[in-house]
Amino acid sequence: TKFVYSFDEGNKDMRGLLGGKGANLAEMTNIGLPVPQGFTITTEACNDYYENDLKIRQEVIDQVEDKLAQLEREQGKKLGSDNNPLLVSVRSGAVFSMPGMMDTILNLGLNDTSVKGLIDSTKNERFSYDSYRRFIQMFSDVAMEVPKYKFENVLDKMKEAKGYSSDLDLTTDDLKVIVEEFKKIYKDEIGEDFPQDPKKQLMLAIEAVFRSWNNPRAIVYRKLNDIPGNLGTAVNIQSMVFGNMGMSSGTGVAFTRNPSTGENRLFGEYLINAQGEDVVAGIRTPQSIDTLKEEMPEMYDQFVNITQKLEAHYKDMQDIEFTIENGKLYILQTRNGKRTAKAAINVVVDLVNAGTIDKEEAIMRIEPNQLDQLLHPTFDPKALKSAELLAKGLPASPGAATGKVYFHADDAVLHAKEGEKVLLVRQETSPEDIEGMVSAEGILTARGGMTSHAAVVARGMGKCCVAGCGELRVDEAAREIRCGDRIIKEGQYLSIDGSSGCVYLGSVEMTSVELVGNFEVFMNWVDEIRDMMVRTNADNPRDAKKAIEFGAEGIGLCRTEHMFFEEDRIPAVREMIIAENVEDRVKALDKLLPFQREDFHGIFKAMDGKPCNIRLLDPPLHEFLPHDDASIEELAKQMGIRPSDLKKRVVDLDEFNPMLGHRGCRLAVTYPEICIMQARAIAQGAVLATKDGHKVTPEIMVPLVGHVNELKMLRPLIEEAVNEEFEKAGVKVDYTVGTMIEIPRACVTADEIAEVADFFSFGTNDLTQMGFGYSRDDAGKFLGEYVDKGILEKDPFQVLEQKGIGRLVQMAAELGRGVKPNLKLGICGEHGGEPSSVEFCYNTGLNYVSCSPFRVPIARLAAAQATV
């Protein structure tokens, strides 16, 4: 196997083998840019190292020695030589760039003899010793894990003793002393002399870079960015050029455009007389690249010329590292620059307008999830750096929020009314907290998963939420949070990041963004290319309007029960539940009907002709009742009944396993009057909206069907009620009746069900729950470990699990369409806004996906990408 490639043997398409850095060094070499020469050890060699008991195979070592000899010949220098020695850098370079996460060693090849050779060939003694002390420090730190601070201490002491303000003040003699002290530190720590054999230095350095693939920060970075852990890193051995040779030398980094805004203007920093990490290390404050124009106009012009060449070549914004050695410019790295979502959009729109790329390419370049950043306010990255992390929970609903913590919904409402910024913190939320959630800037819970009530509702509202933050002990009675030995009391500030799950102490500054200009232009291209519809999950006119602003083309799921919790109607809801006989129940339902009619009227108006999928009552009834004695007593008093009677009813309704209990269409089968009331309310709402001059397209959806007979019984009841209302009003509205497919048996018998359904909507939350047999309220306890241990690739409640659950969806789609070729298919689970799941839906032939309002743009982009 070929494990080692010279730069002139590779190209940019070989990043899998050579890593991003190596592939681009090769590419730049090919297009004739001034790149110091060298060679790349492949990622395969790294993986082989890991498979081979952490040993570098002899075959690899031989190939490295061959390439090194070749490099020595070309450069006319020899590693470790006492005259004109070759020095190299040993640089990590993964397939997907992980800036700063892995290790690099500079000036390798220096030892007590070759430093003399370097002085000889450069006539620069200070520079030579400066390079040597840098090498000892970096090698010790990276290859031998000697703590950096031990070296920093020596430097600091020396500077203090001599009254220097900067490293630049160190004299040659100082540096000689430092080199000796550094070697002593090495000997004390490792128990051996600093290695003088340059080949040994090289092999140890290569191994250190291999190992750095698995250092903790690299692992964290990969997790955050969804980069597989088995790719390995390549190693680049490159001859050194020196930015620390004096005042006509320097080093820097520049982006061809501004990475925060996308502005088409060179953006960067550099330092004179410096090397490598100095620019980012913060020891000296670097200068803006604009200053280079005055300081070294010729270098600046050459550099600008190269940056333009590189951007044109890669057709994307580049992040470029350069070094100037005695007035000669070298390019050390280029890559597609990391950028904010805002910059990403501005860059692709610019590139399309300039004719560099086409619209399809532009669409493929934006990571759909990245759009989230644009839809929610976020923390100012600078402020975040100094913020103190308290704990980490699940990133349940993106955005950032800062506020004073309150532990009860009423308190949140009250203080928000007084103009305070409020965070609602709960052990877990219940539907009754909804008002508090509306008033709060954000929601933080100690329990509950990504599909918990708090999470679903928060996403619907576009409100930031961190859920399941298990490190927190939320004591609602004492009104405080305990976390380790810290206590946060009511009224103190916390800041939460719903995109990362991080909870910070105190208040962190925010930045917000608008959805105009290039974002709009870009989303129009998305819609031109997209051919699957995107709807929204919305329970009220406010959310529906928001979703339409974001481009929703209909409602895919309106959960009627969310309306039941509102303050003015909960008494009637409870009356209905308590009712012991049909008459009492109908009486209570009659009180509810006007409310529901207005709900639907409002939603139909907001949607103005766009299809509205309304789901009939779904949750088990006990969810609407209080459970502790005090609340039961209070409610009984309000309702004018005996607490014991109410208590009895609560106990009656209690279920061992409510998720598999008396809910969904099972409620309608046993209490048909509830379903009939809702059908009437939908029809009456439709009539009102029609009379207002709106077109109305209701789709009535029966939840949780597992047997065709359920739908066979319910469909006629619904139709009868709806038709009767239309006749009464003398208005005719086209509507459909269909079902949610969320029980595995329904998937398997979808052909039967399709006979009586006008549409299917896949409820993939329940389908995942029942398909895997994972309670979604409890799965948080083990799913994390399932993912860590590789049993599952992803949390199946976040990313649709395609092999099993997806198979069920495909089966239902095929069986259903086999009976009814035009059967309308959609998805309304949380997966409807997750890019890979959206692609799956497209490939399965679904007519639409539906997701919470703030994910609509993401789903639109993902749907467009699926068609490209």
In whole angstroms, how close is the CB of 332 to ligand ADP at the nearest point?
A: 5
**What gap in Å lies between CA 574 and CA 10, rounded to an integer?**
72
Size of the site for Mg ion (CB under 5 A): 4
Q: How far apart are CA 402 and CA 506, in angstroms?
A: 8
C-alpha angle 767-551-731 in degrees, rounded to nearest 5: 80
Phi, psi of 401 (to 5 degrees): -150, 145
Position 276 contacts Mg ion (CB under 5 A): no
Rounded Cα–Cα distance for residues 868 and 862 (Å): 10
C-alpha torsion sign, points 273, 278, 283, 286 = positive
Answer for which of 80, 268, 276, 832 binds ligand ADP (CB under 6 A) is 276
Are 861 and 842 a contacting pair, CB within 8 Å? no
- Are the C-beta atoms of residues 831 and 764 closer than 8 Å to each other? yes
764 binds Mg ion (CB under 5 A): no
Reading the block at residue 797, the tokens are 């409640």
Give me the phi and psi of 850, to 5 degrees please: -130, 140
From the list Mg ion, ligand ADP, none, which binds 766 (C-beta under 5 to 8 Å, kind-based)?
Mg ion
Q: Which is nearer to ligand ADP, 40 or 540 (CB)?
A: 40
What span, in angstroms and rounded, lies between the C-alpha atoms of 765 and 830?
6
**HEC profile of 59-124:** HHHHHHHHHHHHHHHHHCCEECCCCCEECEEEEEEECCCCCCCCCEEEEECCCCCHHHHHHHHHCC
36's contact among ligand ADP, Mg ion, none, with CB below 5 to 8 A by partner kind, is: ligand ADP
The residue among 40 and 323 lying less far from ligand ADP, judged by its C-beta, is 323
Among residues 278 and 539, whose Cβ is nearest to ligand ADP? 278
763 binds Mg ion (CB under 5 A): yes
565 phi/psi in degrees, rounded to 5: -85, -10
* Residue with Cβ nearer Mg ion (124 or 238): 238
Instruction: State the number of binding residues for ligand ADP (CB under 6 A).
Output: 18
Comparing CB distances to ligand ADP, the nearer of 35 and 434 is 35
Beta bridge partners, 657, equal none
Contact between 36 and ligand ADP by CB under 6 A: the answer reads yes
Lookup: tokens for 757: 């359904």
Q: How far is the CB of 381 from ligand ADP (least distance, A)?
A: 19
- By beta-carbon proximity to ligand ADP, the closer residue of 276 and 703 is 276
Residue 238 engages Mg ion in binding (rule: CB under 5 A): no
Let me know the angle formed at the C-alpha of 863 by 858 and 865, rounded to the nearest 5 degrees. 95
Which of 378, 391, 388, 463 minimizes the C-alpha distance to 429? 463
Which partner, Mg ion, ligand ADP, none, binds residue 763 by CB below 5 to 8 Å per kind? Mg ion
- List the single partner that 43 binds among Mg ion, ligand ADP, none, CB under 5 to 8 Å by kind: none
Residue 768 contacts which entry, ligand ADP, Mg ion, none (Cβ below 5-8 A, type-dependent): none
One-letter amino acid at 733 equals V
Q: Choose the stretch contacting Mg ion; rule: CB under 5 A; options: 221-229, 416-424, 539-547, 740-748.
A: 740-748
Chosen residue from 766, 830, 834, 839 binding Mg ion by CB under 5 A = 766
> Measured from the CB of residue 767, what is the shortest distance to Mg ion in angstroms?
8
Question: If DSSP states are collapsed to H, E and C, what string results for 392-416?
Answer: ECEEEECCEEEEEEECCHHHHHHHH
Residue from 4, 17, 240, 714 touching ligand ADP (CB under 6 A): that is 240
Residues annotated catalytic, as ranges: 453, 828
- By CB under 6 A, residue 321 contacts ligand ADP: yes
Q: Counting contacts by CB under 5 A, is residue 10 touching Mg ion?
A: no
- In this complex, which beta carbon is closest to ligand ADP, that of residue 218 or of residue 443? 218
CA–CA gap between residue 372 and residue 341 (Å, rounded) = 8
100 touches, from Mg ion, ligand ADP, none (C-beta below 5 to 8 Å by class): ligand ADP
Output the smallest distance, CB 110 to ligand ADP, in A: 13
Kindly indicate which of the ranges 138-146, 398-406, 709-717, 762-770 contains the residues binding Mg ion, using the contact rule CB under 5 A.
762-770
With respect to Mg ion, which residue has the nearer C-beta, 128 or 334?
334
Choose one: 99-107, 129-137, 310-318, 570-578; the region binding ligand ADP (CB under 6 A).
99-107
Asked if residue 337 binds Mg ion (CB under 5 A), the reply is: no
Assign residue 506 a region: left if phi > 0, alpha if psi is -120 to 50, beta otherwise? left
> Smallest distance, Å, CB 333 to ligand ADP?
5
Q: Which residue lies nearer to ligand ADP by CB, 122 or 507?
A: 122
- Decide which of ligand ADP, Mg ion, none touches 241; Cβ closer than 5 to 8 Å per partner kind: ligand ADP
Give the residue, chosen from 24, 124, 238, 346, that forms a contact with ligand ADP under the rule CB under 6 A.
238
The partner in contact with residue 758, picked from ligand ADP, Mg ion, none with C-beta cut-offs of 5 to 8 angstroms by kind, is: none
Closest distance of CB 33 from ligand ADP, Å: 14
| Residue carrying the six token digits 């060939």 | 121
Sign of the Cα pseudo-torsion (93, 99, 100, 101, in order): negative
Of 339-398, which residues contact ligand ADP (CB under 6 A)?
none
Of residues 359 through 388, those in contact with Mg ion by CB under 5 A are none
- Residue number, 201 or 251, with CB nearest to ligand ADP: 251
Whether 764 and 742 have beta carbons less than 8 Å apart is answered as: yes
Burial environment of residue 739 by CB neighbours within 10 A (0 to 12, 13 to 18, 19 or more): buried
Which residues, other chains included, contact 721 with Cβ-Cβ below 8 Å and sequence gap of 6+? 676, 679, 680, 683
- Residues between 415 and 444 that touch ligand ADP (CB under 6 A): none
| Long-range CB contacts for residues 649-655, cutoff 8 Å, separation at least 24 | 649/577, 649/578, 649/625, 650/622, 650/625, 650/626, 653/577, 653/620, 653/621, 653/622, 653/625, 654/622, 655/620, 655/622
d(CA 430, CA 622): 12
In the list 333, 346, 451, 536, the residue contacting ligand ADP (rule: CB under 6 A) is 333
> Binding marks (x or -) toward Mg ion, 306..335, rule CB under 5 A?
---------------------------x--
The partner in contact with residue 89, picked from ligand ADP, Mg ion, none with C-beta cut-offs of 5 to 8 angstroms by kind, is ligand ADP
Which of the ranges 236-244, 564-572, 724-732, 809-817 carries the binding residues for ligand ADP, by CB under 6 A?
236-244
Least separation in angstroms between CB 418 and ligand ADP: 49
Contacted by 240, from ligand ADP, Mg ion, none: CB < 5 to 8 Å by type: ligand ADP
Strands 493-497 and 378-379: unpaired
CA distance 176 to 153: 16
Residues 67-86 contacting ligand ADP, CB under 6 A: none
Tell which residue, 414, 388, 426, 374, has the closest CA to residue 507: 388
Angle ∠(292,298,300) on CA atoms, nearest 5: 35
Q: Does 251 bind ligand ADP (CB under 6 A)?
A: yes
Is the CB of 368 or the CB of 763 nearer to Mg ion? 763
**Shorter beta-carbon distance to ligand ADP: residue 247 or 487:** 247
- Residue 818 binds ligand ADP, judged by CB under 6 A: no
- Cβ atoms < 10 Å from Cβ of 230: 8
Token pair 């398909």 is found at 771
Q: Which of 715, 581, 570 is nearest to 635 (CA)?
A: 570
Candidates 5-13, 92-100, 639-647, 797-805; binding stretch for ligand ADP (CB under 6 A):
92-100
Q: Could you list the residues that contact ligand ADP (CB under 6 A)?
A: 36, 89, 91-92, 99-100, 104, 106, 238, 240-241, 251, 276-277, 321, 323, 332-333
Q: Could you list the residues that contact Mg ion (CB under 5 A)?
A: 333, 742, 763, 766
